[in-house]
Structure 1
Amino acid sequence: MSPDRAVLQRALDRGESEGGSVEFKERLRKDLHLSDGRRESLAAQLRHRVLSGDGEATYVVGVTDDGGLAGVPPAEFSESMDVLSLLAEEAGAHIEDVQTWSVDDAGASAGTGTGTAVDDADGIVGVATISEGAVLGTDDGHIVVGTAGHVDHGKSTLVGSLVTGEADDGEGATRGYLDVKPHEVERGLSADLSYAVYGFDADDQAVRMQNPHRKTDRARVVDESDKLVSFVDTVGHEPWLRTTIRGLVGQKLDYGLLTVAADDGPTKTTREHLGVLLATELPTMVAITKADLVTDERLEEVEREVEGLLRDVGKTPLRVERHGVDAAVDEVGDGVVPLFVTSSVDGRGMDALDEVFRRLPKTAGSDGDFRMYIDRTYSVTGVGAVASGTIMRGEVEAGDELLLGPMPDGSFREVEARSIEMHYHRVDEAKAGRIVGIALKGVREADIERGMVLVPRDSDPQPVREFEAEVMVLNHPTRIGDGYEPVVHLETISEAAVFHPDGGQLLPGDKGKTRVRFKFRPYLVEDGQRFVFREGQSKGVGTVTRTDLDD
């Protein structure tokens, strides 16, 4: 039996019970289940299921009261999810995840899995996971920190100790407080982005996680905090550098935190991740971890190595132990990188990090017209094409008229934001920093590609095939010459490009101007945007300086 199929089978085996967390529904209809009186009753029922499941309930849709596989047509399943989302919202909860199967697959030994398209002719059975608390949003008091660092440099463990206030056991126990997959915990390696959150209350006291296995704990932290600090924990292993780039370049982050293990020192991956952070123009800090494992002499040696690395890329290191938290808060960014010495085992440097995060302001701006670079696309039965991504600036409302593009020929298509969802939680509007799915009217899912953008219909977007940039070569075996062809990562764009540097070449460590031409199609690029470029062992960062070039 596949793992996906097992999710459904476990829910069916548990069945409905008066004090249980599982609820069977054949279908939910807006005209019937949202009518006066019925809505309040069903919301109370959902609340009961969530409380019975210690903050999490399971709704199986497309089954009879006794658990028989009935299935519902795709359009009715979509309507059922809309109704369930509204009921969850009224009950102070949200839909965390949905898995679907066709009736034939649900009754067989293999499921279609999460997000798998189901033939419109088939009936659908779905399992929705309902979690307590509203969808975590972003506001002026919520800073988002992207972490980076070489594998086994204590990155996830450091974050785990921060959000819990607990010392690690020296074996990485506190990393279990992050939103990670079981196989990652077992191996001690992160293979995808993971998330964690803690906060500070009105009295400036830390509000921390207490139990990583209870989703209600995150809701409690959000509820009790006047200021939230969220971590997007990226991947430290070299094969997943592309995922790290997507996590740091494609997210709307306020700060970057780079970790360097005291027993290992800066590595090639450390330099690569620093380059990604520089490309995002994030105010960045460095935490030297595992200070408990080395002598004072070794610690001083690593601090000097890190300082040298920062100076090599034009940054000024600031030792927090020497200059204090005030200087770190006041000077982070603008070329200054605070340097912390920490240990998740003996607690060294953790209070200083707490104090800095408590006092740091939000930096990611949200002014300007709506813009969202598309990260992925999918088709929802009964809804149609959905474009998902992080809103980079502005806000969008359901019903807004938008432009989608550029298409391969550089044109934009008129579309309408039919609806906006966050984790199946339907909202009327969404602002900068939110990761959303926007159902689009007027386009097929097959015509939407990663790297396209959504902008207001009354705007005048000017896509480009070629732009000018200021670049820095971080690593290259020889030199970058005319015609060099890396992959450029800019927002959610990942596209092969051709470089034509001024003077014909750039050497490792050089800064210089170059023309960058996308090989296959135009994209919407604007002055000031940062990007990363990679090709084999060569890597670098850049800033778009001019887009109004003659073809």
Structure 2
Amino acid sequence: MPISSFDFPVLTDTRPEDVSIPSFMVSTTRGFLPRQEPLVRLPQEFEAVESLLQRMPIKTLSGEPGLLAKFTFGETLEKELPDLSDEVEKYRHDLVVMNALYRDYSFLASAYLFEPCHQRFLRDEPYGLGRQKLPRNIALPIVKIAEIAGFKPFMEYAGSYALFNYRLEDPTQGLEYSNLRLIRAFEHGLDPSSSEAGFVLVHIAMVKESGPLIKGTVDMLEACIAKDREILNDGLRTVVTGLKSVNAVMNTMWNRSKPQSYTHFRTFIFGITSQSMFPNGVIYEGVSEEPMSFRGESGANDSMIPLMDNLLQIRMPETPLTEILQDFRQYRPGNHREFLEAVNAAANACEVKDFVLQDPISAALYLQAMNEALSDFADYVQKQQALRRPPGQPTTAAAEEHDELSILDELGLSDDTTPSVPLKTLLLDPAEENIDKLAEYIQGRLEEGHGEALFDLGLEDSGESMAFSKEDWTAALQRVSDVSEKVKADFKVLMTRNVGAENELEVGPRDAKDTGCSGKLILRRRPESVDDVIETRIAVVGNVDAGKSTMLGVLVKGGLDDGRGKARVNLFRHKHEIESGRTSSVGMEIMGFDSKGEVVVSSVAGRKLTWEEIGRKSAKVIGFTDLAGHEKYLRTTVFGLLSSEPNYCLLMVAANNGLIGMSKEHLGIALALNVPVMVVITKIDICPPQILEQTITQLTKILKSPGARKIPIFISNREQCVNTATQFVSRRICPIFQVSNVTGHNLDLVRTFLNILPHHGDYKKESALEFHVNDTFSVPFVGTVVSGVVKSGIIHTGDTILVGPDSLGQFTTTKVRSIERKRISVPACSAGQSASLALRNVRRKDVRKGMVVLHKNDPATGAELTPKVFREFVAEVLILSHATTIKTKYQAMLHVGPVSQTCAIIDIDRNYIRTGDRAQVAFRFVQRPEYLTVGDRILFREGRTKGLGIVKAVGYDPKKPLNPEAAKESEGKQGGGG
């Protein structure tokens, strides 16, 4: 139902002197922080509480061991603390005092309940049981306080442990991090350099930046209601700037709080719900004889990410973990909850997402916001999960439960590449030390980007403008040039704003704050050798006659097509391909960019450079796998898609034909493999406008469908191109180009996009070698050569290796004679790189596609390795399409990496499966055993694609059937027939 306005009472004046309203009220100035600085010391009536809390920490501020270190806190509390419920009543109408009482009593409650668990933890024992009863002298006051203040009667993130638990060392200096101190702590957090202090204070510093999120949210909702695009985009920019500021602070977490110290205070912030320490909950004496349960303190209680979920209409999947997350989100101040609910209702009513995605600039800003709110945060969380539990910690039920939820916390470990000196100073100040610091900063950015980095000149890392004049811009650009030389890199200016340069943005400044000169640069390291060249693999797919080979011919050669296929001829490998104009094999082409971001092409018009010439002149190489579009070559295409392990997929669609035939099949396979997809609509020069419009409508509908869930972004200018390329690895977005290979329309945007495509893929150089063979050759005077991709590890010339398995499951021992990448000899290749290996004393007939190359000996220990192969394995599969039911004994062609072999289903966890079903299925290779690892993606088909899945277990034990009931019936029938 449409709404006329967003009228939630968001404060602009926080009224810090008013004690009659709750401490937590959403505002555009303090965001989700309390309206006023928290009350530090309780009224005189609560001196007993104050005294206990001062003596409680494991190490007090004086350095002496506290009550928790002596394990005497519980007995001291029982003796010294009176029931102060009547004193609480006196302050019922002072909600600031009430919030301070809530904070302090929740610290007492957690310390009392978890003290025995902490004692066992220090002895490297399981946590065991906590105290099962909360005594009356805590239980009665905390229940009354929580009811008045609007919290649960247990420790919460906002009301007690974090956001109401700081003081200012110097009230005149405000909320700068260096000016923050804790009020209460379990460890020795009153020391501002302690890990617990860093852990809490970083959260406070993050939430300090939430004001722009709230202002941008309100502006966006009001703009959507009024259908005002300009205000909407300004609101989105405010949100993006706020998120960047929040994430910049979040990235400092483990610089200020050591991972190994986290477990020293974590015990005290557990909850009661679903914890083995409290199997039945906790009895609050004098309140109820029935046990009570509450969640523990967690960053999942914070309101910033849920605000973005609601505003941007990001829907979470329905999973058990999501249910827990939603439960966690109830533990926040009432005003915060109501605000989030109001935003959610308004965003749904005015359909924020649909309105945003109708405009390319709004869509690009929306994607930036999503990337900051979700992708960066998720990547950030993943980086540090392994560090959350130190080696040797007992894996008690409680610890396991909390670790399952720990992905919800905003804890993190990240190499902080933000310079300690403001970036503007590094760019303009002539001091030599600033030049060195800028060089260190750029070096860190290049390392982070695997040899390249996008750099916003004229903008701070938070997105704020540096307000450069043209003279400042020129000086800063010269500084970047000097520093790039120092770190052996080059750069290219991709686009500018208010500079008046060649690549000036078509869209002018939106407001007065945007008058400064700025621009986006790409920096790329100069490779010292071919080993250092950045490699990106792109699989090119699409229906027959979509223009795949022609497009590659134009990109690689640098010229244009004549409309009759001249550009594609050099790409074909067989005579019948040239005659028919149709690819039947897996073709390979490469395109190079030098360190200055220029395409590497021949200076002679129409001449195509050799692979060796491109490789030697390039700093970044795009490897295209040109796959067949005709249905009869589907097996070849599927093999090419899986065996080349592409980083990205380029789907070609002819404007005059639309998404027909095998195009949908290819798109489905790419989505199944979780490969980011970009689309190029070709032949727009010969397509009538109404047909092109039909094609775009059809393509958009398919990409937005539940099976794809992509956000299509049509690229028509340089700003959209650059912004979309930087966000592309999120996988949700799908950039779409409309090009002509005859007129050259938009080909420059495609080249720019390919030039700045970021590194994508998780490759483990430190792991054992695993090289997948996807082709074999016999080269005169060299011998047998195998090509493929290094999935993990590193291989050197001269290494002793194992190649296999053969038909009997055996491996052959040989040595690597030489290695080539892009037809250039190299001494080694590592995970993520494609290469060709010349093998010593191996005949070509003894190697095949689908084999693997492994080290014969462990490089670290020298111990001989004995690889295992499997004829049977278990996978979790999803049936995409099948006319009837699938039962045991069903056979299909199965693809897993470079392996293509017929497989039979030998067991299913139910009697049969149909289209749309997910199931555990046991497969058996029909011809020979293969080398498999858990986690490998599989795809099986009989004609067109039937299903996909992930290997869950290698080997299969018939004594442990997936469907025990069916196995018993089968045994009964066999017994009866005997």
TM-score bracket for this pair, using the shorter chain length = 0.5 to 0.7
Please state how far the C-alpha of 1:180 moved relative to its aligned partner.
4.4
Aligned pair partner of 2:836 in 436, 453, 464: 436
Please state how far the C-alpha of 1:360 moved relative to its aligned partner.
0.8
Aligned pair partner of 1:420 in 818, 843, 848: 818
Contact kept in structure 2, 1:209 and 1:221, CA below 8 Å: no
With 510-519 and 355-364 compared, the bigger mean Cα shift is at 510-519
Please state how far the C-alpha of 1:220 moved relative to its aligned partner.
4.6
The answer on 1:463 being equivalent to 2:869 is yes
Sort the Cα spacing of 1:300 and 1:175 in 2 relative to 1 into closer, same or farther, 3 A. same
CA distance in 1, matches of 2:624, 2:657: 24
Aligned pair partner of 1:336 in 703, 727, 733: 733
What's the secondary structure of 1:516's corresponding residue?
strand
Q: Which string of whole-angstrom CA distances, capped at 9 and with x for unpartnered residues, describes residues 360-411 of structure 1?
A: 123243522211233455678998766554433322234323333335454x
Contact kept in structure 2, 1:377 and 1:385, CA below 8 Å: yes
Contact kept in structure 2, 1:275 and 1:541, CA below 8 Å: no
The answer on 1:290 being equivalent to 2:680 is no
2:793 alignment counterpart: 394
2:555 alignment counterpart: 162
2:744 alignment counterpart: 347
Aligned pair partner of 1:359 in 740, 746, 756: 756
Sort the Cα spacing of 1:392 and 1:461 in 2 relative to 1 into closer, same or farther, 3 A. same
1:373 alignment counterpart: 772
CA distance in 1, matches of 2:844, 2:610: 37
Contact kept in structure 2, 1:470 and 1:513, CA below 8 Å: yes
CA distance in 2, matches of 1:346, 1:184: 25
Please state how far the C-alpha of 1:497 moved relative to its aligned partner.
0.9
Please state how far the C-alpha of 1:312 moved relative to its aligned partner.
4.6
Contact kept in structure 1, 2:611 and 2:823, CA below 8 Å: no
Please state how far the C-alpha of 1:523 moved relative to its aligned partner.
1.5
Sort the Cα spacing of 1:321 and 1:329 in 2 relative to 1 into closer, same or farther, 3 A. same
Contact kept in structure 2, 1:329 and 1:356, CA below 8 Å: no
What's the secondary structure of 1:515's corresponding residue?
strand
Aligned pair partner of 1:262 in 652, 655, 679: 655
Q: Which string of whole-angstrom CA distances, capped at 9 and with x for unpartnered residues, describes residues 160-185 of structure 1?
A: 22234434332233223536445433
Contact kept in structure 2, 1:178 and 1:212, CA below 8 Å: no
Contact kept in structure 2, 1:384 and 1:439, CA below 8 Å: yes
CA distance in 2, matches of 1:190, 1:468: 35
CA distance in 1, matches of 2:597, 2:825: 33
Q: Which string of whole-angstrom CA distances, capped at 9 and with x for unpartnered residues, describes residues 295-318 of structure 1?
A: 333323222322333335333132
Q: CA RMSD in A?
A: 3.4
Letter of the 2:834 partner, please give it: R
CA distance in 2, matches of 1:497, 1:152: 32
2:890 alignment counterpart: 484
Please state how far the C-alpha of 1:508 moved relative to its aligned partner.
3.6
CA distance in 2, matches of 1:144, 1:400: 26
2:621 alignment counterpart: 228
Sort the Cα spacing of 1:503 and 1:288 in 2 relative to 1 into closer, same or farther, 3 A. farther
Aligned pair partner of 2:803 in 404, 417, 421: 404
Query: 1:94-173, aligned counterparts within 5 Å?
Result: 139-173=532-566
The answer on 1:316 being equivalent to 2:710 is yes
Sort the Cα spacing of 1:259 and 1:518 in 2 relative to 1 into closer, same or farther, 3 A. same
CA distance in 2, matches of 1:356, 1:213: 23
Sort the Cα spacing of 1:507 and 1:270 in 2 relative to 1 into closer, same or farther, 3 A. farther
1:52 alignment counterpart: none
The answer on 1:534 being equivalent to 2:927 is no
Please state how far the C-alpha of 1:263 moved relative to its aligned partner.
1.2
Letter of the 1:297 partner, please give it: Q
Contact kept in structure 1, 2:530 and 2:615, CA below 8 Å: no
Sort the Cα spacing of 1:217 and 1:462 in 2 relative to 1 into closer, same or farther, 3 A. closer
The answer on 1:237 being equivalent to 2:630 is yes
Please state how far the C-alpha of 1:219 moved relative to its aligned partner.
4.7
Contact kept in structure 2, 1:249 and 1:276, CA below 8 Å: no
Contact kept in structure 2, 1:257 and 1:284, CA below 8 Å: yes
Contact kept in structure 1, 2:531 and 2:829, CA below 8 Å: no
CA distance in 1, matches of 2:682, 2:598: 24
Sort the Cα spacing of 1:201 and 1:137 in 2 relative to 1 into closer, same or farther, 3 A. closer
Contact kept in structure 2, 1:148 and 1:257, CA below 8 Å: yes
Contact kept in structure 1, 2:612 and 2:824, CA below 8 Å: no
CA distance in 2, matches of 1:138, 1:288: 35
Please state how far the C-alpha of 1:488 moved relative to its aligned partner.
0.7
Sort the Cα spacing of 1:378 and 1:291 in 2 relative to 1 into closer, same or farther, 3 A. closer
Contact kept in structure 2, 1:275 and 1:540, CA below 8 Å: no
What's the secondary structure of 1:291's corresponding residue?
coil
Contact kept in structure 2, 1:275 and 1:474, CA below 8 Å: no
Letter of the 1:324 partner, please give it: Q
What's the secondary structure of 1:373's corresponding residue?
strand
Letter of the 2:772 partner, please give it: Y
2:923 alignment counterpart: 516
CA distance in 2, matches of 1:498, 1:544: 15
Sort the Cα spacing of 1:165 and 1:305 in 2 relative to 1 into closer, same or farther, 3 A. same
Aligned pair partner of 1:307 in 678, 700, 703: 700
Bigger proportion of residues as strand: 1
Q: Which string of whole-angstrom CA distances, capped at 9 and with x for unpartnered residues, describes residues 513-540 of structure 1?
A: 4332223432111122223212134533
CA distance in 2, matches of 1:210, 1:163: 13
CA distance in 1, matches of 2:536, 2:638: 20
TM-score normalised per structure 2: 0.39
Sort the Cα spacing of 1:487 and 1:248 in 2 relative to 1 into closer, same or farther, 3 A. same
